[in-house]
Structure 1
Amino acid sequence: MIWGAIAHDVQTDLIIINGTVNTECYIHDIIKKSNVIQLANSEYGEFKWIFQQDGVRPHTSKKTLTYLKQRCNVLDPWPPNSPDLNPIENLWSIMDTKLKNCNPKNEEEFIKIITNVWDTLSWKTLENLVISMYKRIDLVIEREGESINSFY
């Protein structure tokens, strides 16, 4: 499992997890180790930003939401079928394209390559994805909830 977070002027390190991610792993090995809350608080101020995540169970468990809501604003509930509204999904697609011609020989080499791709993403790419959120919301409303993938 690969996890990373972006925001305007914020990018966490990439977190690689071998095995299953449950609530405890998500809180301790991802949220805490990534320092995402501290990074966003430092950039925007405490409780002056919104943490957006998808609806997978470790993200939406009562324990996770309690933990997060004590430390930041959380977009909850998140619409169940809304990948169009999550800029990180488009970032994963960009990374996938960059990784297409890579042929790692083993897991260690793959982790090195994907981490390098993540670390060398341009700020312009990240900013465009974050700023596009307003347009995404308008398009989803205009399309009455239908996919907007054809626009991106």
Structure 2
Amino acid sequence: MFSDVTTFCISFGNQGPRVWRKKGEAQNPRCLKSSVMFPQSVMVWGAMSSAGVGPLCFLRSKVNAAVHQEVLEHFMLPAADQLYGDADFIFQQDLAPAHSAKATSTWFKDHGIPVLNWPAISPDLNPIENLWGNVKRKMRYARPNNAEELKATIRATWALITPGRLHATPHCCSNLGKRSPN
């Protein structure tokens, strides 16, 4: 099972049309576009495997070891039950400080969950990065007005992901995340 956190912004993909202007039109109102310096955003944790995707967790705070363990308890464990039942699986996460904390390692040992060894600074190896990109592309033309509408759009887009779509998505998880015999 592959996992990661990403951020979605309300203005994602909402760049509007390009404006071509002639010399001297720089301050013409028809040639100006408003922008938001710090658009509303939401941080989301998700997990996927060749069997499908798990439930999303919208994070309200910076992720420390305690927050990460809560996500694991309330979102990763149900996702594992949903995707694998009683079958064994290996969990993947990056090397963020909350993930590599001693307390988090202890949590995994206490729950009997093996964690895939992962190289440092290697986001391009994680198939869920491609999945996040696909979700963001599918949301490109959504126009949420606030964080709640953004969350609803993310949930609706995530709900459309099926194992078949995961297998058909190039570089997403063609043969990755399948249960190993050990």
Q: TM-score range by the shorter chain?
A: 0.7 to 0.9
**Which AA in structure 1 matches 2:176?**
M
- The answer to which structure has the higher strand fraction is 2
Structure 2 unpaired stretches of 5+ = 1-42, 178-182
Q: Summarize deviations over 1:81-139 as a string: whole Å, max 9, x none.
A: 222221111101101101111111001100000111111113222234222439xxxxx
* Counterpart residue number, 2:48: 6
TM-score, normalised relative to structure 2 = 0.64
**Which AA in structure 2 matches 1:107?**
A
Relative to structure 1, is the Cα distance of residues 85 and 115 closer, same or farther in structure 2, using a 3 angstrom cutoff?
A: same
Relative to structure 1, is the Cα distance of residues 114 and 39 closer, same or farther in structure 2, using a 3 angstrom cutoff?
A: closer
* Counterpart residue number, 1:22: 64
Q: Which has the larger radius of gyration?
A: 2
Q: 2: CA distance between counterparts of 1:92 and 1:18?
A: 19
Q: 1: CA distance between counterparts of 2:166 and 2:95?
A: 22
Range moving further from structure 2, 105-114 or 63-72: 63-72
2:145 aligned with 1:73? no
Q: 2: CA distance between counterparts of 1:92 and 1:10?
A: 14
Shift of 1:60: 1.2
Q: 1: CA distance between counterparts of 2:115 and 2:85?
A: 15
Report SS of the residue matched to 1:51: coil
Shift of 1:37: 3.0
Percent identity between matched residues is 32
Picking from 88, 109, 113, the partner of 2:153 is 113
Q: 1: CA distance between counterparts of 2:130 and 2:149?
A: 24
2:165 aligned with 1:100? no
* Counterpart residue number, 2:162: 122
Shift of 1:44: 6.0
Structure 1 unpaired stretches of 5+ = 135-152
